[in-house]
Amino acid sequence: MFITFEGPEGAGKSTQVRRLADALRLDGHKILVTHEPGGTRIGESIRSLLLTPDRDHPLAPRAEVLLFAAARAQLVNKLIAPALAHGTIVLCDRFSDSTIAYQVGGRGLPFDPVRQIVSFAVAGLQPDLTFLLDLDVGEGLSRKQGSKADRMESEDRSFHQRVRESYAELAAREPDRVVVLDARRSADELATTIHALVVSRLEVDRSTAKTSPSLRQDGRVARAPGTREEETRPS
């Protein structure tokens, strides 16, 4: 199962990823925790290009979207797809929805080409479940006061407002995948809700014999996306 956490700055994504990983490990599950952009050596190099503020060399929005996509492609290929293929539960702090929210909503890039870039980068991989922690922009940014703002966090309030709205729209488009949570609730309450929901999804998967999600009806093992270049060949 592939679970992602989304939401604006300071909403509590990293906190909840940690809490869920701890809870699921206690339940006896194998867990991989990762984050975006980064998670791989190449991805972390791209991360520093993306998040380190550099007023002298502003990053063009189209370059930005491609760098995020490149880091994600590396992460899916090297870490996420192999882990899923081994039955590990993968928790990712931000994923494709961030690109729609920040680069389409925030920056104003056109939706269709960005969606295609995102889909190409991840070879079609979609989270099974996404927790969207929704929080007022000012509240989120004030939670982060004290730590140095990165390049995205330094954007103005209207940018972050558009990001929040874009998240709300994508959640409305995919209500089965995206669970919207009020991030003003306490971290403990949120952790309990999130854990309970994941446990119930795991139960459903088990009862519908989806414990081996890579096993297809014809009995052949479907390859996880992004693990081989041959995946685009007709089979």
Size of the site for Mg ion (CB under 5 A): 2
User: Rounded to whole angstroms, how far apart are CA atoms 99 and 106?
Assistant: 9
List the one residue from 14, 119, 126, 161 that touches Mg ion (CB under 5 A): 14
Beta sheet of 2-6, edge-to-edge order = 31-35, 89-93, 2-6, 129-134, 178-182
Using rule CB under 5 A, residue 153 touches Mg ion: no
**Binding flags for ligand ADP, 9-28, as an x/- string (CB under 6 A):** xxxxxxx-------------
Beta bridge partners of 182: 134
Tokens read off for 99: 């690109």
Footprint of Mg ion on 111-150 (CB under 5 A): none
Stretch that binds Mg ion, among 8-16, 57-65, 70-78, 225-233 (CB under 5 A): 8-16
Footprint of Mg ion on 180-199 (CB under 5 A): none
List the one residue from 89, 190, 194, 224 that touches ligand ADP (CB under 6 A): 190
Q: For the chain, list the strands marked E by DSSP.
A: 2-6, 31-35, 89-93, 129-134, 178-182
List the one residue from 172, 187, 196, 222 that touches ligand ADP (CB under 6 A): 187
Footprint of ligand ADP on 100-159 (CB under 6 A): 143-144
Q: Which is nearer to ligand ADP, 117 or 170 (CB)?
A: 170
For residue 234, whether the previous peptide bond is cis, meaning omega lies within 30 degrees of 0, is no
* CB neighbour list of residue 35: distance below 8 Å, 6 or more residues apart: 14, 17, 92, 93, 94
Taken in order 162, 114, 167, 68, the sign of the CA dihedral is negative
Query: Binds 9, which of ligand ADP, Mg ion, none (CB < 5 to 8 A, cut-off by type)?
Result: ligand ADP
Stretch that binds ligand ADP, among 39-47, 58-66, 180-188, 221-229 (CB under 6 A): 180-188
Point out which residues bind ligand ADP (CB under 6 A): 7, 9-15, 143-144, 183, 185-187, 190
